[in-house]
Amino acid sequence: MAIDKESLAQLIEISRRVGADPDYVQAGGGNTSVKSPDGGTMAVKASGTALASISESAGWVELQVGAVLSIFDRPDLSRLPANEREARVLQHLTSAVVGGEGRPSVESALHAMLGRVVIHTHPVAANALNCGPGLQALGEITPPGELPPLWIPYTDPGWCLATAVRSAAEAYRQKHGCPPSVIFMENHGLLVSAPEARQCLALHNDWVASCERYFAPHAPPLRTAPPMDSSTLRAVMVALRGAWREARGVAPFARVSNDPELAGVASSDAAETLAAGSLTPDHIVYTGAHAVLAESLEDLPAKLRPALSEKAPPRVAVIRNVGTFLLAEDAVKLDAAEALARAAAKILRLAASRGGAHNLSPSSADFIINWEAEHYRARLLDRAPASLAGKVAVVTGAASGLGYGVAQGLVEAGAAVAFCDIDDPGSAAAAAASTDPHRTLPLHMDVTDENSVAAAFDRVVGRWGGVDIIVCAAGIAPPYDLVDLPVDQWRSALEINLTGYFLAAREAARIMRAQGDGGAMVMLSSKTGLDASKANSAYNATKAGELHLMRGWALELGPNGIRVNAVAPGNVFEGSKIWNPEYIEMAARKKGIKPEEVIPYYNSLTALKREIKRSDVAAAVVFLCSDAARCITGQTLVVDSGQVMVR
């Protein structure tokens, strides 16, 4: 009998419930399954899928239970080298697939032998027990008169773990007269099974809560990280990215963690344990075989560089009494590394109250490092190559108008983008509307306030490690005839359109120079900067000024490999705050036409007779920031459908 809708609904329910809690699972870890009513097939989470993302049409694979269990009838597997054995196990599991999409979980055999509904997670509290007091603690937390959980000493995942659980479960059944419904696995995680989804969830949550109660009275308090000033933060990030670039050819994403569990690691004994090795298989996959521990910033490069040549290089670097830092190839993997590092820090803090925690043995770690299944899981986080992949961008004025369109275009091109604006709700909404939440960051920035600008750049550096691209797009256009232009409006335009560009570009240049890896700056000017328009004094002056600032900066920063260019858009009406009803009324009066005729009129002035969209401007910015424009600097790219010809 194929999996039915009710059983699939139960799979979705348990997966989303446990997958939404970072104290239960982190990144792509954990798996779930539900068998059909007759037990003939089961739907199991596909390998590497995030539990919270499972739906009716994606994230699970259906397998024949009998075919999966027949793997235990193959004595030849135990005699094979580990890599060959696991490859054959994968072939066997794949041959049992009868529906769904993706690759069956490596733990499918475990699920097949247990109850109808199975939840396998890596709860922080349960793993504090699994990596710490273990079997002894289980005896203390098992309620009187209830059957104890099954304890499995650490065993390599996959075939070895499945056979170990099978043998131990049979011994448990002979002793207690029933199979185990709760299994604690040393340095690994928690398995629970029950006839129905809600029973399974309740059982799972009850045992995690028991672990939490076991540690809570004795767990040491969270440590407060020492404050980190801007110069220290930027110096650490330059060192981290420089060492990685030297070892691996490209700069990574980097982050200083402000998570309470991780922030205090630099001043606790947990740093030594993290540097000695990993606690669980998932930690090796997402944070590397061990962390790097440096006693000072000066000591960091010498410690980090050799470690980066290892097969499972570190994604966590701790500088004593300074902070905990994460490293990864992209923003998605950076978030995964932080999630696993946070879990490790909390495991160590809880376990410290009950005798401490122990790492995986070197041989166990080597198995995970060389296991194809774990490499497969990590590869699922890889994204398709994009022109700006690996770049960190800052866009001012990103809450609306052209800034919004440019920021979205940079995200689509693969960059991690800070959406900066004085309109906090607007920048938050703009970032939330992007295609990848891992690569967006809404930030408050008043471009006329140098402290606000510097603080925003520090936030970007702290989150992603540096700045590779700056796009200055914040601007205003006071619509007045010369004789009616208020001086405060004139000064506001100078402050936002010129001082704002200067402050943002200056901060970006300081960071880019320190990084020593070049960079790209784009000033969003206007066709008005090339060809003045009537009754637009402040806009004419500032947009022309931006172009000359750009040319001077291109000469100044060229020796540092920093390219500075401008885009001069024509009239872009889509989502514009400048082209508001008041401005359109003014334009209508100026041209002697009706307000509804303004947009068609301006489009008619272009050679192409085509309305310019935000995406057209974004495409030009993406080009100028990409390697395709590596020999272009000091230039103005006009995106106006052919209204103004550059001379």
Q: What does the alpha-carbon distance between residue 142 and residue 65 come to, in Å, rounded to a whole number?
A: 31
Q: What does the alpha-carbon distance between residue 126 and residue 25 come to, in Å, rounded to a whole number?
A: 11
Q: What does the alpha-carbon distance between residue 527 and residue 223 come to, in Å, rounded to a whole number?
A: 55
First to last CA, the chain: 74
Chain-centroid distance, C-alpha 549: 35
Catalytic residue among 404, 539, 601, 602: 539
Other CB atoms within a 10 A radius of the CB of residue 193 amount to 25
Q: Do 297 and 233 form a contact (C-beta atoms < 8 A)? A: no
The kind and range of the H/E element at 201 are: helix 197-215
The kind and range of the H/E element at 419 are: strand 416-421
Tokens, residue 554: 């291109």
Q: What does the alpha-carbon distance between residue 315 and residue 283 come to, in Å, rounded to a whole number?
A: 10
Query: Rounded to whole angstroms, what are the CA distances from 117 to 35, 191, 203, 612?
Result: 7, 11, 11, 55
Q: DSSP labels for 270-292?
A: HHHHHHH--SSHHHHHHH-SS-E
Tokens, residue 36: 């059909």
E-state strands within 159-312: 182-185, 189-194, 253-256, 292-294
Strand order, beta sheet including 316-319: 253-256, 323-328, 316-319, 292-294
Tokens, residue 91: 């072939």
What 3-state DSSP class applies to 383? coil
The amino acid present at 341, given as its one-letter code, is: A
214 belongs to the catalytic site: no
Q: DSSP labels for 436-471?
A: -GGGEEEEE--TT-HHHHHHHHHHHHHHHS--SEEE
Chain-centroid distance, C-alpha 503: 28
3-state DSSP percent of the chain in helix, strand and coil, to 5: 50, 15, 35
CB-count exposure of residue 558 (10 Å: 0-12, 13-18, 19+):
middle
What 3-state DSSP class applies to 224? coil
Q: Any idea which residue has 């002979």 for tokens?
A: 174
Length of the chain: 647
Q: What does the alpha-carbon distance between residue 270 and residue 519 come to, in Å, rounded to a whole number?
A: 37
Q: Do 143 and 209 form a contact (C-beta atoms < 8 A)? A: no
Q: What does the alpha-carbon distance between residue 195 and residue 414 come to, in Å, rounded to a whole number?
A: 45
Phi, psi of 294 (to 5 degrees): -115, 145
Q: What does the alpha-carbon distance between residue 328 and residue 636 come to, in Å, rounded to a whole number?
A: 35
Tokens, residue 367: 């198995």
Catalytic residue list = 539
